[in-house]
Structure 1
Amino acid sequence: MNERIQDGPIGDPVAALATVASAMGRFGVAEDERAGFLATVARALRDHRPGDRLTLSVTGGSLSATVGNGAAPASTATVAAYGETASDGRGDGAGLLDLVIGQHEALGRQGQELEQTGQGVVALHAELAETTERLRHASDLQRRLLSAERRAHAVAEASRARLAFLAHTGAILAESLEHERLLWRLHASVVPRYASRMTVWLVREPGLLDPYPPAAEAERPRPLVEKAFSSGRAQHATRVPGDEEVAPGVDTTIDDQQILAVPLISRGTTLGVLAVEPPADSFTAEDVAVFGELARLTAAATDNALRYEHERDVAELLQRAMLTDLPSSGRLRFTARYLPAEAGLNVGGDWYDAFERPDGDMVAAVGDVTGHGLQAAALMGQLRTTLRAFAIDADGPGEVLTRMHRLLSHLQPDDLATAVLAQVSGDGLLRWANAGHMPPLLRAPDGTVTVLEGHDFLLGMPLEGARLQEFGIRPEPGSIVLFYTDGLIERRGVPLGEGIDKLARAFARADGELDVIADSVLTDMLRDSAREDDTCLLMFRTATP
């Protein structure tokens, strides 16, 4: 379809625009194109120059409007199908009015849509604000939970460190039975990490406290230390106010000179006071509790050490008092050595004895009582006295040890002992009996060493009516007999036979007088020894022709 609808000068732009609107309605321009088409033509009409013309035409299904000299259309719009029109016969102005009304309705709809969109945006904004607030609360909660977790972790780590400290210190206190040594090790583990200063005050005399570590000059304990000792309650001086109830059972005061004094109580007796000063800040309630437990451990360990040292000193005095003076005249020449242990429980039950019988026979013996300490030393003394009583008129070493065995089994059935007893008659005959002891060694004048085999059960074993055997030999004049206890030859992880062989070689190498030989043997044998047991050695040389 090709049709020219309008072609004439522009008189009234509004009338011209109404003509365009009427044409759009007539030829059925699509609703969604009308506004744009009309706006384009309106701008062209607004800017027209005198003499310009408005041309409307339909060509190939499109409505064209040209404003000007006809060079190019101002706008085009799609029209209805060829031969069809949409005109309702209401004139040029009706189309324009319809368009205005349609635009108004469209604007109304757009306004409603914009209003609905605005309401949606407001609702979305409110929802976003609510979500943001929830996120902020969640973030605050997460921060609080994280902070609480860190505090709990720090508390757990601090508790773990305190428990590890107590476990380590408890192990240190259990390692020694010398009170000065354990207190020195305790001081090294506490200062300066857990306390800037630590002093252990121990009772030396009734009512008097001595410090450890010892002070360079005479020092009196602080009043709170004396109060802790006299009251039996821990005393805590701190500069932090409000800590009067820092821990149960602790008397707390405010003082710039901070100190914690805890009494050392064991078996109901106050041994002294553990006094510590904080390394930096004041002690916390947890610190006070830890030092309270440390004081309990220290009291128990110190009490055990002091009791052991007292028993050891008494046993050592008793043991040395019972070590006999060796015969200085007669056919035999004697020498002896006794060395107490340097590690572990120092006093054992090792003993030796030598004497002359009324008939002129010489008796020599070495023994060892099971156990250590005062009880072992006392039993050792009883056996030594019993041996002398029985050996005065017994027929020989076998009878003496048999009678000692029966006496020990009857009077002290829980105790055991070893002993080797020799009797040398005037004609040079050496008889011996061995109750579970180390075998004696015999060195001939040419240096050959022989092990005197032959031994029996231990004294005190539950063997009713048993008798010990007796053995005999006639050594060459000038021979040396060596008795000894297990402390001379026993080593951890080394078979006993190897120790005896080593002793035999050392005995064979030694040269000189009897005392020189004894010292040489001790030096060789104890060079690699930890000295965990007593060592006893008895030698005698038979008469030379």
Structure 2
Amino acid sequence: MTDTRHEDVVRELRRTVERQQRELEMHRTELEQTNAGLLALHAEVERQRQRSAFLDDVSRSVSASLRGHEVAEALVGLVIREGVATSADVWLLGDDRRVHRQPRPGGKPDAPVQRVLATREPVTAPGRALVPLTVGPILLGVLDVRRDGQEFGEDDVAFVAAVAARAAVGLRNAGEYERERELAERLQRAMLPTLDTPGDLELCARYLPAARGVNVGGDWFDAFTRPDGSVVLTVGDVTGHGLDAAVIMGKLQNALRAYATEGHGPAETLRLTHALLRGWHSPLLATAVVLELWLETGRIRWANAGHLPVFVAGEDGAVRALDQPNAPLMGVPFDFVIHEYETALRPGDTALLYTDGLVERRSRPIDTGMDRLAEVFETVCGLATDEAGDRILAEMLDAADHDDDVCLLLCRWAAKEAELPA
């Protein structure tokens, strides 16, 4: 009996151990599955975090430029660098409804691109995914991405579509800015005058729009002969940019010419123009300098409302600035006194009127730009005015992108004999 009970206890103990081992193995399996699930969840969370960060990078990159081809170039570079694709193209619909490839110009859209344009739905092909670039109801083009030896799944296509949605906003903004820039530039060029050069004067005028964005529309120059034979030279700049500045510029230029043609002196011309601008209740302000020249004597009279000083260079290269105290900008909400000054040119002297886009840079103080302009003017004042104007632009802008539009007006009093005032 004792042996039998002992065997029964042993069997029961074995069953208990076996049951506990089975339960332990079951718990171990559940734990492994839980760990695997947690790892998978962590990997998915990290993947989604990386994708969200990438989409933020896309938004920042496509917002960094206001040129469509630069936006497309930034987008393609980003999707390749981050491994979303091994190559990519952006097919953009132009205003003429033609499709243009960026950032690699040339080529014609194939059947998959045409299908996306027609249906506005994503399309997949071997190693390729194409999604529409849309903002609301507006179709801008197609984002075309490729992978070497790897297909795009549904999740990949959805992600590429999210990338396209972010990029489309930047492309739309760039397109709107480019259209406004073109319109403002065309409007401004149409309003700039053709110079009628009188005897004893050599005139040169140059206008360059801003190389970037819509910073165009506010600068103007003018030169005309009044009925009394005197010549009026003006250069001005409206604050702000784009169409509003271009429209105000055109109005101010015409008003200033009309006041001066009536016979008002420089100070009174600026005062009347200031009062007119205030009456328009525009938030924009303007600077201008008006200079009168009597060809018989070389006498000049000028007034300045918030503008940069005129430079005068002699035949010997000596440069001086007409930097007497200025009046405030035109359009400020108060009246002010505008002082008028007078001096004389010598035969062969050249006056230089210009706007701040020629001398002002974000990377340097404006005084540095003014000093540089004086140096350049000194070296070119012996050249013909057309050549001197081109040289000044080349030296001052240094062939780099400039953020503001630029006007300059050169006037050389070419009289050989003159009765100069005592």
Aligned to 1:440: 310
**Would you say the 8 A contact 1:236–1:258 is kept in 2?**
no
User: Residues 96-118 of structure 1: CA distance to partner in whole angstroms, max 9, x if unpaired?
Assistant: xxxxxxxxxxxxxxx83x66654
Q: Distance in 2 between matches of 1:278 and 1:303?
A: 27
**Would you say the 8 A contact 1:348–1:533 is kept in 2?**
no
Matched residue type, 1:221: A
Q: What is the aligned residue count? A: 412
Q: Distance in 2 between matches of 1:209 and 1:494?
A: 42
Residue 202 of structure 1, aligned match among 92, 99, 112: 92
Alignment RMSD (CA, Å): 2.8
Q: Distance in 1 between matches of 2:393 and 2:128?
A: 53
Q: 1:500 to 1:215 in 2, by over 3 A?
A: closer
Residue 221 of structure 1, aligned match among 111, 133, 146: 111
Aligned to 2:291: 422
Q: Distance in 1 between matches of 2:369 and 2:136?
A: 44
Q: Distance in 2 between matches of 1:539 and 1:196?
A: 54
Q: Distance in 2 between matches of 1:209 and 1:507?
A: 47
Matched residue type, 1:314: L
Runs of 4+ off more than 6 Å: none
Residue 316 of structure 1, aligned match among 185, 189, 206: 185
| Paired-residue identity, % | 36
Q: Distance in 2 between matches of 1:369 and 1:189?
A: 38
- Is 1:186 the counterpart of 2:75? The answer is yes
Q: Distance in 2 between matches of 1:202 and 1:528?
A: 29
Q: Distance in 1 between matches of 2:387 and 2:267?
A: 32
Q: Distance in 2 between matches of 1:352 and 1:480?
A: 16
Q: Distance in 2 between matches of 1:197 and 1:180?
A: 16
- Is 1:495 the counterpart of 2:365? The answer is yes
Structure possessing the higher relative contact order (Cα contacts under 8 Å, 6 or more residues apart): 2
Q: What is the TM-score normalised by the length of structure 2? A: 0.87
Q: Distance in 1 between matches of 2:69 and 2:231?
A: 46
Matched residue type, 1:452: L
In the TM superposition, residue 218 of structure 1 has moved relative to its aligned partner by 4.1
User: Residues 107-133 of structure 1: CA distance to partner in whole angstroms, max 9, x if unpaired?
Assistant: xxxx83x66654554444333223322
Q: Distance in 1 between matches of 2:268 and 2:84?
A: 66
Q: Distance in 2 between matches of 1:206 and 1:360?
A: 50
Q: Distance in 2 between matches of 1:215 and 1:322?
A: 34
Q: 1:195 to 1:493 in 2, by over 3 A?
A: closer
Q: Distance in 1 between matches of 2:44 and 2:214?
A: 42
- Is 1:331 the counterpart of 2:200? The answer is yes
Matched residue type, 1:310: R
Aligned to 1:355: 224
More deviation in 423-432 or 125-134?
A: 125-134
Q: What is the TM-score normalised by the length of structure 1? A: 0.69
Q: 1:173 to 1:393 in 2, by over 3 A?
A: same
Matched residue type, 1:440: V
Aligned to 1:81: none
Residue 277 of structure 2, aligned match among 390, 404, 408: 408
Q: Matched residue of 1:141: which SS? A: helix
Matched residue type, 1:468: I
Residue 293 of structure 1, aligned match among 141, 146, 162: 162
Q: Distance in 2 between matches of 1:371 and 1:181?
A: 24
Point out where structure 2 has 5 or more consecutive residues left out of the alignment.
Answer: 418-422
**Would you say the 8 A contact 2:358–2:397 is kept in 1?**
yes
In the TM superposition, residue 142 of structure 1 has moved relative to its aligned partner by 1.6
Q: Distance in 1 between matches of 2:224 and 2:86?
A: 62
**Would you say the 8 A contact 1:416–1:459 is kept in 2?**
yes
Matched residue type, 1:476: R
Give the alignment of 1:69-468 within 5 angstroms: 112=2, 118-191=7-80, 193-195=83-85, 198-204=88-94, 209-212=99-102, 218-222=108-112, 226=114, 228-232=116-120, 234-237=121-124, 260-276=129-145, 282-425=151-294, 426-453=296-323, 454-463=325-334, 465-468=335-338
Matched residue type, 2:33: R
Matched residue type, 1:414: P
Matched residue type, 1:379: I
More deviation in 285-294 or 193-202?
A: 193-202
Q: Distance in 1 between matches of 2:6 and 2:399?
A: 99
In the TM superposition, residue 275 of structure 1 has moved relative to its aligned partner by 4.3
Q: Distance in 1 between matches of 2:267 and 2:207?
A: 26
In the TM superposition, residue 374 of structure 1 has moved relative to its aligned partner by 2.3
Task: State which structure, 1 or 2, has the greater radius of gyration over its C-alpha atoms.
Answer: 1
In the TM superposition, residue 450 of structure 1 has moved relative to its aligned partner by 1.5
Aligned to 1:538: 409
Matched residue type, 1:428: G
Q: Distance in 1 between matches of 2:96 and 2:246?
A: 30
Q: Matched residue of 1:386: which SS? A: helix
In the TM superposition, residue 156 of structure 1 has moved relative to its aligned partner by 1.5
**Would you say the 8 A contact 1:353–1:364 is kept in 2?**
yes
Matched residue type, 2:297: D
Q: Distance in 2 between matches of 1:389 and 1:175?
A: 43
Q: 1:517 to 1:201 in 2, by over 3 A?
A: closer
Residue 523 of structure 1, aligned match among 394, 410, 415: 394
